Amino acid sequence: MACAQTGSGKTAAFCFPIISGIMKNSQSDPRPTRMPRMSFPSALILSPTRELSVQIHEEAKKFAYQTGVRVVVAYGGAPINLQLRELERGVDILVATPGRLVDLLERARVSLQMIRYLALDEADRMLDMGFEPQIRKIVEQMDMPPPGLRQTLLFSATFPKEIQRLASDFLSNYVFLAVGRVGSSTDLIVQRVEYVLETDKRSHLMDLLHAQRENGLHSRQALTLVFVETKKGADSLEHWLYSNGFPATAIHGDRTQQEREYALRSFKSGKTPILVATDVAARGLDIPHVAHVVNFDLPNDIDDYVHRIGRTGRAGKTGLATAFFNDNNASLAKSLADLMQEANQEVPAWLSRFATRSSSMKNNRRGGGSGGRFGGRDFRRDNSFGKGSVDFYGGGYINSGYGVVGVSDGYGGGYSSSVNSAWD
């Protein structure tokens, strides 16, 4: 189970060992030949959104270049026939969203009996999105080898305790590895919080965009991602921006997959340098040149905030995140102020006052809020879980130094300072 900050390169961290493992064992794992139309991948990578699956597929293909390891993607909202054809041509690593994979399993077009590696990317989000029944079906009720015979990897920038408990069903004797504090944001992102009344949000956004334009920060080299709470809100803000001279596009779950992919392409290319999005775009998406993330509507959960702002400040680059805060977000004040302080950001005095006022109320953060700071550790360290038996540590964990994992300052500064013990 591995936790590292957004944009730090988790995709490569789980892809390379999988590709390497498959290359080493390619001779020793002959595929059953009786069922020619059924595919037998050796590795399965599950991710919560279609766009993220597409991105992981593209990355994994690059990493597997000229290795002979074949990577195929399967996700909902796209024609299944094309995906079936790709699968029939052979697959070593299958990247999939849970719903489409269940479909393929039920059609008996994919068998999991040869799986040696199972990676769950953004595992907590998949469970949040209600994929737990599908994931349990895939992992526990089909023909996948049990933990011990397969290697299971869970990756995210946040790991609420509840998810750790559930995930432990899929893992045996596991290593919990954290780079930096679990759930923290990178200090490469400058975070700003502004008090903006609901009725003033649009004009405030307009001011920001005008200022950006005047500073030359409105181009294909400086994209702006604006998060809103609802799909309707996304449509409406997109139209409003467009009619006010700011080329924008939108992505949310009510758009067809074709529209979603078109919007993403148009944004990435800078044709529409503003993307209005719901949380469907909050996780994992690696879009170069996102210079500014605006939380037009703040999420209810601080983990979601961490992932959203993490669309900027990636791979050692810096970024800016602006949040519009008002009384409706009071329940987030404490965790937001704590998170900002943790990332060495300036916390406005008014936000600290909000935080003090709301700290006596129940914190909204999953994982017990004020209990473990940022839910920030391996839950097996928590004596309140089970008997707190020492056996929970039997599998070993990497608890300091990171000499073992060789975390290096690969981005020319910026990361080494955040490499701490997971238990601090």
Binding mask 304-343 for ligand ATP (x = CB under 6 A): ------x---xx----------------------------
410 makes contact with ligand ATP (CB under 6 A): yes
- In angstroms, give the least distance from the CB of 321 to ligand ATP: 13
DSSP H or E stretch at residue 82? helix 80-88
Q: Considering only CA atoms, which of 159, 169, 44, 162 is closest in space to residue 110? A: 44
The structure tokens listed for 258 are 């074709």
6 makes contact with ligand ATP (CB under 6 A): yes
Stretch near ligand ATP under the rule CB under 6 A, chosen from 6-14, 229-237, 327-335, 362-370? 6-14
Stretch near ligand ATP under the rule CB under 6 A, chosen from 9-17, 18-26, 242-250, 371-379? 9-17
286 makes contact with ligand ATP (CB under 6 A): yes
The rounded distance, in Å, linking the Cα atoms of 267 and 205 is 18
- The nearer residue to ligand ATP, 98 or 414, going by C-beta atoms, is 414
Q: Of 8, 184, 278, 329, which one interacts with ligand ATP (CB under 6 A)?
A: 8
Q: Considering only CA atoms, which of 119, 118, 123 is closest in space to residue 156? A: 123
Q: Residue with CB nearest ligand ATP?
A: 9
Q: Considering only CA atoms, which of 212, 236, 271 is closest in space to residue 204? A: 212
Please check whether residue 40 is in contact with residue 109, taking contact to mean a CB–CB distance below 8 angstroms: no
The structure tokens listed for 25 are 């064992």
282 makes contact with ligand ATP (CB under 6 A): no
47 makes contact with ligand ATP (CB under 6 A): no
Stretch near ligand ATP under the rule CB under 6 A, chosen from 4-12, 128-136, 210-218, 247-255? 4-12
49 makes contact with ligand ATP (CB under 6 A): no
Print the SS3 string covering 174-190.
CCCEECCCCCCCCCCEE
Q: Cβ-count burial of 201 within 10 angstroms (0-12 exposed, 13-18 middle, 19+ buried)?
A: middle
- The nearer residue to ligand ATP, 112 or 120, going by C-beta atoms, is 120
12 makes contact with ligand ATP (CB under 6 A): yes
CA torsion 222-340-413-220 (nearest 10°) is: -10
Rg of the chain taking only CA atoms, in angstroms: 22
Contact residues toward ligand ATP (CB under 6 A) are 4, 6-12, 157, 284, 286, 310, 314-315, 410
